[in-house]
A and B are shown apart, each in its own frame.
Chain A
Amino acid sequence: MSERAPTSGRSTQGALAERGFAGVVLGSGVIVLLLLGAIIVMLAIGSAPAFREFGPGFFTSFVWDSVNEVYGAGIMIWGTLVTSLLALLLAVPLATGCAYFLTELLPDSLRKPIGTLVSLLAAIPSIIYGMWGFFVLAPLLSAFFLAVSDRFVDSPAIYNFLIGISGTSIFTAGLVLAVMVLPLITALFVEILGATPVVLKESVYGLGATRWEVIRNVAIPYGRRAMVGAVMLGLGRALGETMAVTFVIGNATRWSPSIFNQGSTIASTIANEFAEAGFGSMKLAALLALGLTLFIISFGVLAAARALVSPRQG
């Protein structure tokens, strides 16, 4: 603070107010730091019994047995990663297309309202996506697989496989997550592609490049780093999504390698099994250990995303 030595009662008061306000805002900033620290500490303390019991094998064990109180996170980690990667695999190309459409193909007058629409889509609560997935998408998928197997498949093995696909599965969860992260990634892509300096684009147009060539060779390379960051943000969102996934993944705690079978993610398991975990039980500790695992995974992804997307974006 660049104040001179107080000379009158009034300025002493002023200095006090100055210092008081600075202290209050600093204190609020520190609260935020403490919050993250407290989340880590609380999860670590709560999950300690589970790690003492199962050791590092907790992360690699594919057994989740509530009856015999043997818990491992393997099935859930697998489900979390597979659903999230599936979501990105579907959402990133779609988001790129949507962003290109919004920034380059759409007439100026429509750009703003459609952009608003995209941001509104991102604001819809996740439980709505879950209900849509469960009541609309899942029946549609099982009807689709049934129709395909009835009409086109002769081999009994493939027929039985297709028939066995239920509407709720790891695959369905991936689809719903893709729908959820699509507006988020699209909005970020639009912002990033829109930030390409016009001079750069115009000079390449001047050389005779087509629209696609300008996007591919100028806009995307220019924003590549930020775009990777945006995808990571989408991944962070998908990894921890709870309600939408809980509705459509089937919440199976038995291991299956097929993505067309029911499964579970870390978040869906916590949401689904918490009611059965009493205060101080081993199950509670195991669920908190799952939470800590999710925290570590998403912290890594989000930290990388933030480092890539400049602080003023997203």
Chain B
Amino acid sequence: MAVVTSPLAARRKRTSKIVAALCMAAAGIALAVLFSILFTLVSRGLPALTFRLFTTETLPTGENGGLANAIVGSLIQVGIGMAIATPIGVLAGTYLAEYAQKSRLGAVTRFVSDILLSAPSILVGLFVYELMVATTKTYSAIAGSVALAVIAIPIIIRTTEDMLSLVPVPLREAAAALGAPKWKVTTLIAWRAAGAGMLTGLLLALARVAGETAPLLFTSLGNLNWSTSLSEPMASLPLTIYQFAASPYGDLVELAWAGALLITVGVLAINIIAQLVVGRKR
């Protein structure tokens, strides 16, 4: 059989190939940038990553400080933030998935939650500043925690609702047919069935707030000294990175890179764990 190729067919094939090549180039550029970022992080962060980092607090340049207070501060604020956000987020997500599928109020709540999900985080910082810092005239760790909670809530709502709506309706109907009231169907059947997915949502929210800098700028402010008091300014890893990276001192910039590597590894690890949790369930 003779292969007949008209000029038109040849041109169409060529176009398709050229586009494919361009797309590969686009993917190549994206990968190159990714590797540049990761390479910079590792090559500049790893040499500065010592054990001292975890045991010594931040000190002025030349005094061989660490990041201990920033790490502890981050853990405290992220912990409290998640403790505030988890019940509100899970319950509001449950409301959207189980109680408000067709209601007007539910639609509005869903829309507002979606807006909050992608609202600039610096605005959350300004809001909490006005709410808690301007009124008490002190920057505080608790204000930072609240700001982080406000950022985490819409993430938790979204995943909770998504995961609950994946639970098959017959499962709920079976429980209801046995006489279980709706709240029991929700907590004992739906929550349990969607548990792994909801946990993933919590982990994703955790990863997101752990790296947030902007909302902490005007709430917990940062602190170069040890402080575990919730009513005083508190250090955090992202804020310390920001302050040190912008400083003119080489040793502090080095510490900033170590902190940057630390937080990226932490955030990526939580993300990977979150994906594994869902993966195992499926």
Contacts and interface: CB of A to CB of B under 8 A. Distances in A.
Nearest to A182: B30
Contacts of A291: 122-123, 126
Given A42-B131, A134-B245, A240-B121, A212 B40 contact: no
A26 B99 contact: yes
Dominant secondary structure of chain A at its interface with chain B: helix
A300 to B, nearest CB: 10
A242 B102 CA distance: 37
B131 A120 contact: no
Interface stretch (B15-23, B48-56, B61-69): B15-23
Contact of B123 (A32, A274, A294, A311): A294
A245 B183 CA distance: 47
Contacts of B211: 124-128
Given A29-B105, A36-B116, A271-B214, A242 B122 contact: yes
Contacts of A28: 87-89, 91-92, 94-95
B141 interface: no
Given A21-B186, A211-B20, A29 B92 contact: yes
Interface string B97-123: 011100001101111111110111111
Interface string A228-262: 00000100110111110001000000000000000
A66 to B, nearest CB: 17
A270 interface: yes
Contact of B127 (A38, A93, A239): A38
A102 B27 contact: yes
Nearest to B113: A32
B83 interface: no
B182 A18 contact: yes
Nearest to A91: B30
B26 A42 contact: no
Nearest to A237: B118
Contacts of B116: 32, 35-36
A51 interface: no
A183 to B, nearest CB: 8
A180 to B, nearest CB: 10
**Among the interface residues B87, B112, B214, B218, which one has the most CB atoms of the partner chain A within 10 A?**
B214
A226 interface: no
Contacts, number: 249
Contact of A306 (B105, B114, B208): B114
A132 interface: yes
Contacts of B154: 32
B23 A98 contact: yes
A200 interface: no
Nearest to B92: A28
Interface stretch (B167-175, B194-202, B226-234, B261-269): B261-269
Interface string B193-224: 00000000000000110111110011000000
Interface of B: 12-13, 15-16, 19-20, 22-27, 29-30, 33-34, 36-37, 40-41, 44, 87-89, 91-92, 94-96, 98-100, 105-106, 108-116, 118-124, 126-127, 130-131, 134, 137, 150, 153-154, 157, 162, 181-183, 186-187, 207-208, 210-214, 217-218, 238, 241-242, 245-246, 256-257, 260, 263-264, 267-268, 271-272, 275
Given A33-B109, A43-B123, A288-B126, 18 more contacts: A21-B183, A29-B96, A30-B109, A32-B92, A39-B119, A43-B126, A93-B26, A102-B27, A120-B271, A127-B211, A127-B260, A129-B37, A130-B245, A132-B36, A182-B30, A210-B13, A236-B118, A247-B246
6 closest pairs, A vs B, by CB? A240-B120, A125-B211, A97-B26, A21-B183, A28-B91, A210-B16
Interface of A: 1, 3, 14, 17-18, 20-22, 24-33, 35-36, 38-39, 42-43, 45-46, 93-98, 100-102, 105, 116-117, 119-121, 123-132, 134-136, 179, 182-183, 186, 210-213, 233, 236-237, 239-243, 247, 267, 270-271, 274, 279, 287-288, 291, 294-295, 298-299, 302-303, 305-306, 311-312
